[in-house]
Structure 1
């Protein structure tokens, strides 16, 4: 059984996609053992409560320094003893010590086809605004392992989504979530849970 902790800052739609996939059997051999948010008002915490999942808020705003927050944050994660950590719209920089400890056991969903529109400053609606401004014809999402860079870790899965001429950033964001994010994040978790993802020489390899 793969024990998963999900980290989320906002509404938790990707968290809900994971919960639904586990309950429907799309994700196998997996249990969400905890949800942590940096935002007390995150609806993701309510989603967790609705499904009987342990949840808590740990915010940098509640600590004098980022170093103290990082320490308390890592203590909370370690206390849940996860096999896999899933960043599902988590807008806090992961401490380097945590990345090192959980090497190739932290994954992130990013709303673009990496290496396009990723890195520092590219998150949420900003990604889709930039994509439309550039005039791309294809958008999408990427699931990747987390390393010390920003969106630079080994890529696990990607899914392309067609851009329409009438798209606004909000419309494109919704389509990318529905057609890409909510599909490949659960799929990646299921692949990992069943031993079908390995990392060699900085590249993730998926076997069916």
Structure 2
């Protein structure tokens, strides 16, 4: 059974999607063992508590740099015997110590179809504002492995979402979450925990279920 840690900074909607998937028995061979927050007042910690999942605070403001915070996170994850790290609205840049400690074992969900609208500065509503301003007709979400490059790791799953007339960044953000992020993030976590993902360079292969 793979022990999963979810890293959060805010409301924890993607965390809730994982908690709900676990309750439905959809995280095969995985269990959410911990939620680590960069903010003590993050609502995601309340979601974890309601689900009976231990919550921990590794507050960014308590460290002089992102590197020191990353080192503290790695130490806590190792202490908790974590096998998979999931970034779910974690709003800080992790330094290379995290990737070195968990190579091809950190997942992130991004609210666009990478390589569109991704990389440094593309987070939250900014992603949807850029998609609408560019005039694309289709957007969506991507789950990828994390490497040293922001949003640059190998892609595991993607799901498209149509942009509709009259969409605002807020309405589009909500629909991308509901139709894509909350669907493919639990799927990707389950695939990892079942040992069904293999990585060759940028290509992620998914083994058929035995």
| 1:17-36: CA deviation from partner (whole Å, max 9, x where unpaired) | 00110110122111111000
Whole-Å separation in 2 of the counterparts to 1:55 and 1:93:
21
Q: Which residue of 2 aligns with 1:83?
A: 83
Whole-Å separation in 2 of the counterparts to 1:42 and 1:95:
22
Matched, 1:145 2:145: yes
| 1:103-130: CA deviation from partner (whole Å, max 9, x where unpaired) | 0000100000000000000000000000
Q: Which residue of 2 aligns with 1:38?
A: 38
Whole-Å separation in 1 of the counterparts to 2:180 and 2:161:
7
| 1:84-118: CA deviation from partner (whole Å, max 9, x where unpaired) | 00001111111201101210000100000000000
Aligned with 1:107: secondary structure?
strand
Q: Which residue of 2 aligns with 1:200?
A: 200
Q: Which residue of 1 aligns with 2:20?
A: 20
Give the direction of change, closer, same or farther, for the CA distance of 1:81–1:203 in structure 2 (3 Å limit): same
Deviation at 1:52, TM superposition (A): 1.2
Aligned with 1:31: secondary structure?
strand
Q: 5+ unaligned residues in a row in structure 1: which ranges?
A: none
Whole-Å separation in 2 of the counterparts to 1:203 and 1:46:
37
Q: Which residue of 2 aligns with 1:94?
A: 94
Q: Which residue of 1 aligns with 2:6?
A: 6
Q: CA RMSD in A?
A: 1.1
- 1:109-120 equivalences under 5 Å are 109-120=109-120
In the superposition, the TM-score normalised over structure 1's length comes to: 0.97
Matched, 1:74 2:74: yes
Aligned with 1:44: secondary structure?
helix
Aligned with 2:118: secondary structure?
coil
Aligned with 2:56: secondary structure?
strand
Ranges of 4+ aligned residues in structure 1 off by more than 4 Å: none
Q: Which residue of 2 aligns with 1:186?
A: 186
Whole-Å separation in 1 of the counterparts to 2:69 and 2:137:
41
Q: Which residue of 1 aligns with 2:130?
A: 130
Whole-Å separation in 2 of the counterparts to 1:26 and 1:72:
31
Whole-Å separation in 2 of the counterparts to 1:65 and 1:195:
34
Give the direction of change, closer, same or farther, for the CA distance of 1:65–1:163 in structure 2 (3 Å limit): closer
Whole-Å separation in 2 of the counterparts to 1:28 and 1:66:
33
| 1:116-173: CA deviation from partner (whole Å, max 9, x where unpaired) | 0000000000000000000110010000000010101000000000000110000000
Query: How many correspondences in the alignment?
Result: 208
Aligned with 1:157: secondary structure?
strand
